[in-house]
Each structure stands twice: as C-alpha cells, then as structure tokens.
Structure 1
Amino acid sequence: MKIALHGLALRPDYFPHIELLFASLHRQGCEIYVTEVFDRLLKMNGNKTLSYWVLEDKEDFASLDFLISIGGDGTLLDSVSVIGNHETPILGLNTGRLGFLATVATDRIEEAVQHLASGNFQIEKRTLIALESNRRLFNGLTFALNEFTIHKRDTSSMITVHTFIDGKYLNSYWADGLIVSTPTGSTGYSLSCGGPLITPDAKNFVITPVSPHNLNVRPIIVSDESEISFEIEGRTEKFMISLDSRSCSISSETQLKVRKEKFPANLVKLPEYHFFDTLRQKLNWGLDMRN
C-alpha cells in the first residue's frame, strides 16, 4: 500500500505517536510518503530516523491508496484540498481537540493501521460544495467540505445578501454574513450560528444567516441539487468570502454561485464508529451537568 501523511502542526510531545505510526505502517509493508509541509515539520522536530518519500508533484497523489491526516478537523479539511479530485480515501488521526472528522485517537494507531491493511473499513462519500464566479478565486481551488461563507469585512456595518435558489428569489438577508453548509459542515460554523445538525449522508445544503437583523429569519434546508446564487450590498466596497478555512476579499461586482461539486471527499470509516456516537461524545448529549 502507498500511504501519505499530512499535517499542519506537530508538537514535540506528539512525536512518539508519529514514530509509532511509522513503525505500524512499516510492519504492514506500506510505502510511506509525506507532503512537503509535513516533511518540514518532521525535520523541525529533529527527525533523523524515519524513512519516507516526499510528495513533490500533484500527480503523485493519484497513485496513493490512502492519506492519513494528522491533526484536528482543520487539518482534515486541508487534506481534502490537498487531495483535490483524486478522491484518495482520507483517515483522520486526531491530535487536536474536538474531532468530528478526525476520529481516530492516538491510542488506536496500531489498530487503525491493521484495519487499513486488512480492508476492514468503509468509505463515506461526503458531499463537497463548489463555488462558481466570474473571476478567478482561491487560486482555482474552489471547493470545500464544510461550508461556503459570505461575511462583512472587518468591523463594518451589516451587509445585505440577496439569495436565489435555481434563479428564484428566496430572501434578502440583512446580517453579518451568510453560510451555505454541507451536511458535514452542519456540525461547524453553521451549528454555532443556530443551524440544524444533518447526518452526513443527507442530500441537502443548509443556508444559515450570521447574526441576522430580523430575528424571524431562520436557517433553511434545501436540496443539494439546487444552484444557489447571491447578490451582495453594503456600505463598503469589499466583502469577505471563505471556503472552509480559506478566505479572500471580493467586490460587489463579483458574481457568486454555489452547487454540489462533481466529486466527493472519501473519508475512511473504521469499525465501531458511528456519527451518532460522535455527536453524543462531542456535544455531551445525555449528560446531567448538575452532577
């Protein structure tokens, strides 16, 4: 098996877990590759013993069997961007905090590698959201796993986002911003703004306003076959848009439209994992906080 490792940060106290991961992969006869970013992190932590190849070309990702994302959910979102349309399955090793997406704990490294080697896993196909515009944005990397967001810039006054579904007028949101979330992203920014939780296999998007001026405005769930377009107004000339953690500034003349991406993100689901278990664990459902 060809397995790549990717991470955005690596604390020195986590390095023993990385050594265990390498040892487990070598025992299974895996060819180990790392991204250039993760290679720099390993060298910064004084690596002199770990053996691997460095992925230097985008096309190198096409031959991979898996990519292991080492970090939190933010690292896994970045891993999706790194993989792009190659659809390489991604396993999230959680060295972060919350971990809705990166679900493998460091004490299950050897077990996780054994599952990969034996084929004892499932692949969850997660919907991506794609952005279309009349100008080049995000260096052409115009898809996201969690959400697309329109937001006011800095501390300026609220903006108005005229929103259309398949060309039909939906609403004008007077707010700090507007989120269009995938089912995967329903546990992220959208949730913190009052959006609903959606199971990962749902065929929907969620449109959630950020701090709306009209309190009777609520999130709405639409089909992911919908094409959602926007017109933005405000007192300033510039606005912010984001795809997951990547953001850029635009003007009101920029045309924006989102839809479902043609390809999915493939996440590795190990045995005994279920989305409902993660919800209960991460959101403390069923716990009496008085005790």
Structure 2
Amino acid sequence: MKIGIYGQFYHKNSEKYIQLILDALQKEDVEIVIEENFLSIINEHQDITKNFSGFETFKKLDESYDLFFSIGGDGTILKSVTYVGGLNIPIVGINTGRLGFLSTIQKEKITESINLIMEGNYSISERGLLTITTSPESNEINSLNFALNEVAVNRKNTTSMIKVETLVNNKYLNSYWSDGLIVATPTGSTGYSLSCGGPVIDPSTNSVVITPIAPHNLTARPLVLPDNSTISLKVSGRGESFLVSLDSRIATLKNETTIIIKKADFTIKLVQLPEDSFIKTLRKKLLWGEDKRN
C-alpha cells in the first residue's frame, strides 16, 4: 500500500498529531510519501522528536497511490483536492483544525482511526465537483478549473454592487444586484453559501445551489437546482474587473466575461469511518439539539 501525506501546519500543537500519524503508519506495511514542502516543515520543527528526512517526497500524485492523508482543517482538504484531482485516490481527512466538516477524523482518535483504515474498516463518501470555463479564455484559469465547495464571483476594488446576469440551461434566470454570487455543491453548502443564508444540503443529493451575496433585492433567495444544470454568469459593474474563486483559488476576470459552470466529470472520494455520518457531523459542528441556556 502506498500513502501520500499532505499538510499545511497552520494549527496550534498540530506537530504532536503529525508525530502520532507517522508513528502509527510506520507500524504498518505501507510506503509513505510526504509532500515536499510539508516534509521540510516537519523536519524544521523542534517539537517533532524524530528525524523523518528519510521519507520519499512528491510534488504531484499519480495513480500508484492507494490513500491520501490530509492533515489540517477543511482548507487543507480543499488544497488536497488539487493534488488528487481525477485520480480516484481516497482522501483521509484528519482534523487538527477547528470546524472540520470535511476532515472528520478527530485528532484525539488518530491511532485507533488509522488502525480501522488499515484494516479496511471504512466507507467512501463520494463528492461531486464543479468545473468552469470562460469566454473569452483567461490565462488565470488553468487546469485547476474545478471546485469541491463552490465557485463564487465577487466585486473587486469597489464598494459598489455588481450585476450578475445568470442563465440556467441557456434560459434567463435573474440579474443579481449584489456583492457577488455563489454556486455551491452539496459539500460546499455548509461553507460560504451557508454564511450567506443558503440551505444545508446532504452531500449524497445530486444538486447545486445558487446563493446571492448581500443582494440588493431581498426577494432574491437561494435556489437549488439539479447538478446536471449548466449555469452561465456574466458580471458587470463600475469596476473594470471582478474576482472569481474556486474554493480557495482566486482569479481576476474582466467585466462582461462569461463564466460557464457545469458538474465535473470526476468525483472526490472521502474516507468515512463506521461511526461517522453527515447527520452526526451536522449535530456536532452546528450544535443542533443542544441546549446552551445553562
């Protein structure tokens, strides 16, 4: 078995959990390959007690990997998706951050969780993505033209609203006067879209949601559509350009550029332990069903 490991080391005290992960994996008959920059951070960190400089490193992945360990928070998972792409490598999200909707394996249970995974005692949660093209083409939109959470357009260098002319399957839907517009997957429904008033959507559903950001017209509400819809956006406003983001990656586009958003032709596979579920994660992360009055 060949395992890739990636992290960003942004979280306090995460070094001790990285130590636990590497120690647990070294007890197994697996080949461990660590992302190049992450390994250099590990070896520079004084709180890591062992020297891991002997590990192999990668800059990009190939189909020889069986699992990909993402160590951090949900932002690290989103970055991991850019490495995995359409290679069908299952991602193991170990949460050393805070919220953790995607990286659901808790740092307090690292050793037992890795033991379950090595025994094959897990399931796969398959997640759809969005992909974009632009007309005219943009040099800033490269082969990483996909997003697991959302595609969003936002105003740039102005306090004025932008107009986002929106078509669904070549039929005019609306012109949103707002700070921007989000097109989110079910996976992304608990992220940026949720903070802008969008609905929570179970990741097993085949849908996308259009959520306006601070719309001028209060009747502009989030809209859930089938995920086989083609959504076209054209932005105009007082500025000469606007921002488009694909998860955490941002590009600048000129006004009147058309963005075409579709379902990607590949999925991301997230490893899920037996006791985990989306419903359980919702209850835990959003504190549903808990009485905080005492």
| 1:156 and 1:236 in contact (8 A); partners too | no
Q: Which residue of 1 aligns with 2:283?
A: 280
Distance of 2:11 and 2:279 partners within structure 1: 30
Identity, in percent, stands at 45
Q: Which moved more, 1:149-158 or 1:75-84?
A: 149-158
- Do structure 1's residue 227 and structure 2's residue 226 form an aligned pair? no
What's the CA shift for 1:40? Answer: 2.2
Q: Which moved more, 1:152-161 or 1:87-96?
A: 152-161
Instruction: Provide TM-score, normalisation by structure 1.
Output: 0.96
Q: Which residue of 2 aligns with 1:131?
A: 132
- Do structure 1's residue 144 and structure 2's residue 147 form an aligned pair? yes
Equivalences for residues 48-197 of structure 1 within 5 A: 49-50=51-52, 51-56=54-59, 58=60, 60-134=61-135, 135=137, 136-197=139-200
Q: Which moved more, 1:137-146 or 1:99-108?
A: 137-146
What's the CA shift for 1:166? Answer: 0.6
Structure showing the higher helix proportion among its residues: 1
Report the secondary structure of 2:288's partner residue: coil
- Do structure 1's residue 200 and structure 2's residue 191 form an aligned pair? no
Q: Which residue of 2 aligns with 1:23?
A: 23
Deviation digits for residues 2-24 of structure 1, max 9, x if unmatched?
A: 11110112557322221221111
Report the secondary structure of 1:61's partner residue: coil
Distance of 2:146 and 2:92 partners within structure 1: 19
Report the secondary structure of 1:173's partner residue: strand
Distance of 1:160 and 1:253 partners within structure 2: 10
Q: Which moved more, 1:215-224 or 1:43-52?
A: 43-52
Q: Which runs of 5+ in 1 are unaligned?
A: none
Distance of 1:241 and 1:32 partners within structure 2: 36
What's the CA shift for 1:49? Answer: 1.9
Report the secondary structure of 1:86's partner residue: coil
Equivalent residue pairs, number: 289
Deviation digits for residues 179-229 of structure 1, max 9, x if unmatched?
A: 000000000000000000000111000000000000111000001000000
Instruction: Provide TM-score, normalisation by structure 2.
Output: 0.95
Distance of 2:118 and 2:6 partners within structure 1: 19
